[in-house]
């Protein structure tokens, strides 16, 4: 008797295009933050979030909540959807 093991391999990027959604969000946050001339620390203060959390988001290492998305959008003076759009 032989045992065949199959596993489904899912490419997350296939579902959202060529860039991971977390990386897209992070790139947009960083681009907009830098465009406003804010450091991560200044931006974190404005958004009411810890600076290391901002760093994690910008690197695509965090999966943020909708509440944090709203805080980021308010601090950057954009709509939450703008943070998820492609540039």
**What per-residue confidence (pLDDT) applies to 52?**
97
Reported as a single tens digit per residue, the pLDDT across 40-79 is 999 999 999 999 999 999 999 999 999 999 999 999 999 9
pLDDT of res. 37:
98
pLDDT of 29 over the 50 cut: yes
In this structure, how many other beta carbons lie within 10 angstroms of the beta carbon of residue 24? 19
pTM: 0.77
| Domain extents in the chain | 21-83
8: pLDDT strictly greater than 70: no
pLDDT for residue 3: 55
**HSE-up of 9 (CA within 13 Å, CB side)?**
2
Architecture of domain 21-83: Orthogonal Bundle (1.10)
Closest CA to 53 of 81, 19, 86, 29: 29
| Rounded CA separation 35/28 (Å) | 10
Contact (Cβ atoms closer than 8 angstroms) between residue 26 and residue 57: yes
Let me know the angle formed at the C-alpha of 52 by 28 and 24, rounded to the nearest 5 degrees. Answer: 20
């Amino acid at each position: 008797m032989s045992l065949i093991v199959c596993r489904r391999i899912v490419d997350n990027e296939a579902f959202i295009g060529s860039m991971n959604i977390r990386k897209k969000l992070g790139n947009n946050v960083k681009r907009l933050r830098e465009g406003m001339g804010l450091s991560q620390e200044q931006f974190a203060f404005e958004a009411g979030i810890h600076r290391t959390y901002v760093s994690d988001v910008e690197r695509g290492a965090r999966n943020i909540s909708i509440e944090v998305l709203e805080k980021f959008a308010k601090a950057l003076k954009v709509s939450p959807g703008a943070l998820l759009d492609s540039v």
